[in-house]
Structure 1
Amino acid sequence: MEKLSYRFEGGSRKLPKQAEVVGVVSSGNLEVLIETAPLGGGCVIDISTAAVGFGATWQAVMADFQQRWQLADTRIAINDMGATPAVVSLRMDQAVETMLGDGQ
């Protein structure tokens, strides 16, 4: 397992709910836990992945996600079993939309 961590600053969107879990860890999929946290306006994403050596890809996917959502005071934990970048993006968007409750 490889563990990666990314922190993004400058987000402006705070989520209204405390926590949500989306997805399940199984063959080729991932689980995303998203929660509000007092992070001084930052967004922290911690990843545990079975796919070792893809740090640059994860960095690009996480930066794209944060660019779209601009999250602040948010902690995200991802447990991955080899999901593709498209599945990762989809599942993370689903997590935020679930937290927002209205798809916005």
Structure 2
Amino acid sequence: METLVFRFENGTRKLDSAAQLVGVVSSGNLEVLVNQTDLQSACEIEVNTAAIGFAAIWEAVMKDFHARWQLADVRIAINDMGATPAVVSLRLDQAIESSLEASLEAKK
């Protein structure tokens, strides 16, 4: 297993929801856990992956994700068993969309 950690400073979008878990770790898939926490407007992403040697690809996918969402005070944990970059991006977007939906439901 390889662990990669990415940190993006000066995010602008906060999530107002409880922790969200999407996906299932199995062959070719991954799970994403999103937690709101005080990171002084940063977003931290920790990737635990069985696919060793792909740090540059992970970095590109995480930079693209951060550019789309600009998250602040969010910690994300990813457990991966060999998902493709497209699946990673889709699962990350799904996790954030679930968090936003949960926030809206809580405000009702």
The answer to whether the superposition gives a TM-score over 0.5 is: yes
2:77 corresponds to which letter in structure 1?
A: A
Give 1:10 shift: 1.5
Runs of 4+ in 1 over 3 A off after TM superposition: none
In structure 2, runs of 5+ residues without a counterpart are: 103-108
Matched residues, percent identical? 65
- Is 1:72–2:93 an aligned residue pair? no
Aligned pairs for 1:12-91 within 5 A: 12-91=12-91
2:46 corresponds to which letter in structure 1?
A: D
Measured in 2, the distance between the counterparts of 1:10 and 1:57 equals 23
1:52 match: secondary structure: coil
Report the structure, 1 or 2, having the larger helix content. 2
1:16 match: secondary structure: coil
Q: 2:6 is matched with which residue?
A: 6
Give 1:18 shift: 2.1
2:37 corresponds to which letter in structure 1?
A: A
Structure showing greater radius of gyration is: 2
- Is 1:101–2:96 an aligned residue pair? no
Aligned residues: 102
Question: In angstroms, what is the RMSD of aligned CA positions?
Answer: 0.8
Report the TM-score, using the length of structure 1 for normalisation. Answer: 0.96
Measured in 2, the distance between the counterparts of 1:19 and 1:49 equals 21
Measured in 2, the distance between the counterparts of 1:9 and 1:30 equals 25
Give 1:66 shift: 0.3
In structure 1, runs of 5+ residues without a counterpart are: none
